[in-house]
């Protein structure tokens, strides 16, 4: 699972209503701005710049948009469960309904990559993703995202 140092209950959007990829990113960046003290615009612009390199829709209805910013103090994430899946230009063509935004300092280097890998590994578990899709309760989603698994074979 994800460590509680990566996200918190305030960073969970349990039933985000959006119609497009851009709208989803904008709403999630707005929450990231509130939590981090950065402006929504600077986070949004950095995420869109990264999306131009290639979609962060990783498949099976999951997207992990991410960016690095100089003003960020530490790596943090925002999780959103979308009410309705949206086209995210994922390679498998499956619309996305689970989004985890990762924001890191420009100096994060390998820690940024390790966090991305950890998030991808957690969300690749179809059973886990199904449980996330089945709930709209912030506390339950936060618990699922941060509790240690009983066993986790790599």
Q: What is the mean pLDDT of residues 3-11?
A: 85
What are the structural domains of the chain? 9-146 (3.40.930.10)
Q: Residue 30: pLDDT above 60? A: yes
Q: Show which residues are catalytic.
A: 66
Residue with tokens 């998030």: 119
Pairing of strands 96-105, 76-86: antiparallel
Tell me the pLDDT band of 152, cut-offs 50, 70 and 90. Answer: very low
Q: Mean pLDDT score of the chain, rounded to an integer?
A: 92
For residue 54, which of 94, 99, 84, 88 has the smallest C-alpha distance? 88
What is the torsion angle, in degrees rounded to the nearest 10, for the CA atoms of residue 74, residue 144, residue 25 and residue 104?
Answer: 10
CA atoms within 13 A on the CB side of 33: 15
Query: What is the band of 4 on the pLDDT scale with cuts at 50, 70, 90?
Result: confident
For residue 27, pLDDT over 60 is answered with: yes
Under a CB-based contact definition with an 8 Å cutoff, are residues 26 and 92 in contact?
no
Residue 150 predicted with pLDDT over 90: no
| pLDDT tens-digit series, residues 36-64 | 999 999 999 999 999 999 999 999 999 99
């Amino acid at each position: 699972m994800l460590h509680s140092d990566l996200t918190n209950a305030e960073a969970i959007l349990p039933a985000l209503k959006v119609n497009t990829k851009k709208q989803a990113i904008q709403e999630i960046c707005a929450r990231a701005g509130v939590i981090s003290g950065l402006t929504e615009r600077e986070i949004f612009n950095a995420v869109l710049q990264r999306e131009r390199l290639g979609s962060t829709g990783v498949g099976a209805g999951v997207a992990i948009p991410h960016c690095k910013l100089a003003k960020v103090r530490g790596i943090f994430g925002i999780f959103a469960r979308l009410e309705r899946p949206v086209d995210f230009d994922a390679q498998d063509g499956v619309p996305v309904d689970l989004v985890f935004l990762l924001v890191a300092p420009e100096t994060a280097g390998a820690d940024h990559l390790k966090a991305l890998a950890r998030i991808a590994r957690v969300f690749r578990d179809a059973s886990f993703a199904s449980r996330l899709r089945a709930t709209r309760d912030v506390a339950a989603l936060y618990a699922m995202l941060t509790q240690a698994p009983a066993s986790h074979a790599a």
